[in-house]
Amino acid sequence: MAMVFTLVSTLKDGAELLISERQAAAQAIKDLAAAQAEEEENKKFHGTAVTRESFLEWRVRFRKEMEEEESKKREDKEAEDKKRKVKAEERLTGKQPWEKGLVRKLDEDEDEGPDGLEAIERLKVEA
């Protein structure tokens, strides 16, 4: 019986060792894959090294973009101002109708009578 116990114990220890080695190998593969994925993810935080030449190229492109944006804003503002001027020119200020003679004199309007009842009587209300 002692011999059977020794054989079973040896087989059990061997099986446990084999299983733990396989688990360790699988864990090592997972760790390696995770490390590679993390390294790939960290690459985006390490950009291109800035040199004097690359900075000057970037600055030229950046200033060109900013100038284009400014000119576009300026053109949009000018177009909007033109629209506002057209609307503003259609409407006369308080002094302009008097200067152009578009307003009748007050004396001409007051010939209706002291109360203006005659003008009210002339109005027709239609339903």
| Per-residue model confidence as pLDDT tens digits over 70-118 | 999 999 999 998 888 776 666 777 787 778 777 766 555 555 555 666 6
- At 102, give phi and psi (nearest 5°): -85, -15
Predicted local distance difference test score (pLDDT) of residue 89: 63
In this structure, the number of other CB atoms found within 10 A of the CB of residue 112 comes to 14
Look-up of token digits 């239609």: 126
Q: Using a cut of 0.85, tell me whether the model's pTM lies above it.
A: no
| Contact (CB, 8 A) for 50 and 56 | no
Q: Give the span between the Cα atoms of 63 and 57, in whole angstroms.
A: 10
Q: Which two tokens stand for residue 17?
A: 């060792």
Q: Give the span between the Cα atoms of 35 and 125, in whole angstroms.
A: 89
| Residue 125: pLDDT over 70 | no
